[in-house]
Chain A
């Protein structure tokens, strides 16, 4: 009886170790797979050529990723610029100002927002944001815009990363000890002064880590941006230009036109790029959070 107990204990422990290791190995396997698949393109094009060239004509053997990189960066930057102030203030309101009654309602709502499938955000963007831009906003600035623009992508993505940012910020602000707030308020500081000088200052590394995490999420978002960005392989020069983010490129083209051997390899290279960037960003935010915890 005793022996079988110990046997089970050993099996359970090792099994869990095996499963965990398998998950980790998957990451390594994916990166190797992506590299092997994308290797053929390096035989004909140098890395610098691929990253800096602007021409995307697979049939003419021209694979310039610069428009896609810029498209991704634009959409991500706009999303972050829109989401950061809103999420910071929302989180401050929830942790510093709101009473528990409000929190009880808002937290689940945020969870629902975070859990919505991204295609719903895409549909919402197509039905509301795209027409709004083309009919209302764009005429103030440019002659014509179809609405499928960098801005549309940024707005949709902003709404998608908002709940993530808010919940991260709420968690970070909650780790600030109440005594610090009390110490500041007892000196006669207002709520806002306390938030600005004590809570923000103390949470700065955490805020940074949350932003990095949100960026890596935004970089990889596919369906929603694919539906509203216009998908033209051009370098956007204004908010009202169409663009073509990397994940959309992969999702739209993989599986088609793979008769061109280098085409698949190019798409795999795009995936590898995304993989490395997201991995690095995640790593960075983990490091910051780890150092924050051990401070």
Chain B
């Protein structure tokens, strides 16, 4: 088993030594990646901070005493075996835990001094705007391609057809979808292919100018090529956004993660820079997980 682990860590070194930023195939390379600044922005560079977070559903504890600092402008990958609480942790960041019945949460998730866990009403809405979500399966809203992207503007009270047109074009460029859909913006979004739908969902999240983007296994439902396009997009987007991904594929984490959080049975076992966690894991459990002893 030790042999296997050595081979594994060797292969890790090999693959991470390769140049880290592959060219983005889908994205429009002539286009600058910048948010278009419709919303008011805090200049905060503080990390997303999780303090003493405990979450249980009914009597079942799901997350136990989680403490984390998630850095800005990096791709953070949350890894761990199935059912360990990765997705639930991600859901607490934008309080999508609200739709889970009998959920109890203690502790805090701080974004620039504001607590996601205890915010209500307008504060919660604003926090959700600042923390975007790319779902596991692409789910375009039941409206046209155009309206999917303009939806965020509309719900936040930004009006005007001209403004919407600008926003739609801008963010479709950002995800490299503009050229593919510019002639059929009024078609229902469900007419796109699955890979295109996922990029649309990403553009829709970007259109409300979030600071963080949560991606819950955002590439798991996609074919390898679409998956690669989305992955490359994330790498490029990290200049302006902070990305938190839950992923099941260690290889993916290895390719794109800057920061890694390993969770096991609802507890954070290890968190740190990707190089350190992958190449020099401090904990026995992390080592076993990475070497494939359990998954």
Contacts and interface: CB of A to CB of B under 8 A. Distances in A.
Q: Do A and B bind each other?
A: yes
Nearest to A99: B101
Given A198-B142, A201-B142, A188 B135 contact: no
Given A100-B101, A178-B99, A187 B152 contact: yes
Given A179-B137, A180-B142, A183-B139, A189 B96 contact: no
B176 interface: no
A186 interface: yes
Interface string B122-134: 0001101101110
Interface stretch (B178-186, B200-208, B231-239, B280-288): B200-208
Given A99-B101, A193-B155, A197-B155, A185 B128 contact: yes
A37 interface: no
Contacts of B152: 187-188
Contact of A186 (B126, B133, B137): B133
B293 interface: no
A183 B128 contact: no
11 contacts: A179-B139, A180-B139, A180-B141, A181-B99, A182-B96, A183-B201, A187-B152, A187-B208, A188-B126, A188-B152, A202-B142
Residue among B99, B151, B205 with max Cβ neighbours from chain A (10 Å): B151
A79 to B, nearest CB: 30
Given A182-B133, A185-B128, A202-B142, 12 more contacts: A179-B137, A180-B139, A180-B142, A183-B135, A183-B139, A187-B132, A187-B133, A187-B155, A187-B208, A188-B126, A188-B156, A201-B143
A179 B143 CA distance: 15
B94 interface: yes
Interface of A: 99-100, 177-190, 193, 197-198, 201-202
A184 B133 contact: no
Contacts of A197: 141, 143, 151, 154-155
A116 B94 CA distance: 46
Contacts of B128: 185-188
Nearest to B153: A187
Task: Describe A's contact surface by its main secondary structure.
Answer: helix
B142 A187 contact: no
A187 B139 contact: no
B294 to A, nearest CB: 29
Contacts of A99: 101
A111 to B, nearest CB: 22
A177 B139 CA distance: 9
A188 B208 contact: yes
A174 to B, nearest CB: 14
A182 B201 CA distance: 12
Interface in B191-207: 201, 204-205
B222 to A, nearest CB: 16
